[in-house]
């Protein structure tokens, strides 16, 4: 029986903070396999993503290729939400993933910021019965999240050109596709 992690997010763009979380999840053996799931149409965000779902998926794939082989071999980008039409609900993704890993524990990895909004999630009571939540502590948030030394990096500051906390291949992709006008 393995621990299959689902790490969903908008990833607009995926940055060094996300890659740190991914690396820590694998190195600390918090999960055996990690599925990185870019959101198709995220609902609990104030603004829609700037990059398209396909661009965000491509950036995730590029970023994972920049990870050390021992980590990257245990991480996959799963396009389930990008390919699904309509809103992205975690429970739909969990149900689909659970079909592929019926004997494994599904671990839903979320940041403390997302954990504060769990009561707003679609079918949250059912979801709580299907997964183990792994809440990652974030700088600026109090609570009982797992401390992995999370980096204080935000996609917002990257989009605004105030930070360059990106892997080199993601930075090149952003430049080549004129994303975020920076």
pLDDT per position as a tens digit, 89-113: 899 999 999 999 999 999 999 998 8
pLDDT band at 44 (very low <50, low <70, confident <90, very high): low
The model's pTM is 0.93
Using N-to-C axis directions, what is the helix angle for 168-176 and 53-65, rounded to 10°?
Answer: 150
The CA-atom distances, in angstroms, between 145 and each of 22, 90, 133, 139 are: 15, 19, 10, 11
Q: Give the containing element (helix H, strand E) for 71.
A: helix 69-72
Report how far apart, in Å, the C-alpha atoms of 78 and of each of 5, 22, 138, 160, 175 are.
11, 14, 24, 27, 24
The CATH classification number of 3-181 equals 3.40.50.620
With the C-alpha atoms ordered 31, 153, 138, 86, is the resulting torsion angle positive or negative?
Answer: negative
Task: Give the span between the Cα atoms of 121 and 14, in whole angstroms.
Answer: 22
Q: Let me know if 98 is exposed, middle or buried by CB neighbors in 10 A (0-12, 13-18, 19+).
A: middle
pLDDT of 40 higher than 90: no
Q: pLDDT-derived band of residue 26, with 50, 70 and 90 as boundaries?
A: very high
Q: Residue 18: which H helix or E strand, with range?
A: helix 16-27
pLDDT computed for residue 98 by the predictor: 96
pLDDT at residue 69, as a whole number: 97
pLDDT at 141 exceeding the cut of 90:
no
176 φ, ψ (degrees, to nearest 5): -60, -30
Interstrand relation of 3-9 and 105-111 (parallel, antiparallel or unpaired): parallel
Can you tell me the distance from the alpha carbon of 37 to that of 39, in angstroms, rounded to the nearest whole number?
6
Q: Residue 170 and residue 60: Cα distance in Å, rounded?
A: 8
DSSP 104: S
């Amino acid at each position: 029986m393995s621990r299959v992690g689902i790490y969903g997010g908008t990833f607009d763009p995926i940055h060094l903070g996300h890659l740190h979380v991914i690396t820590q999840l694998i190195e600390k053996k918090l999960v055996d396999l990690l599925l990185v799931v870019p959101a198709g149409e995220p609902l609990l965000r104030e603004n829609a993503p700037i990059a398209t779902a396909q661009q965000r998926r491509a950036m995730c794939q590029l970023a994972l290729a920049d990870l050390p082989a021992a980590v990257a071999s245990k991480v996959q980008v799963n396009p389930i939400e990008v390919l699904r039409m309509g809103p992205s609900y975690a429970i739909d993704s969990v149900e689909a993933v659970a079909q592929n890993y019926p004997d494994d524990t599904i671990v839903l990895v979320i940041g403390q910021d997302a954990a504060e909004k769990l009561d707003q999630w679609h079918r949250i009571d059912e979801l709580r019965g299907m997964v183990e939540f792994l809440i990652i502590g974030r700088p600026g948030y109090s609570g009982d999240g797992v401390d992995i030394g999370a980096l204080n990096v935000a996609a917002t500051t990257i989009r605004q050109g105030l930070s360059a906390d990106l892997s080199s291949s993601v930075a090149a992709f952003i430049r080549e596709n004129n994303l975020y006008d920076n």
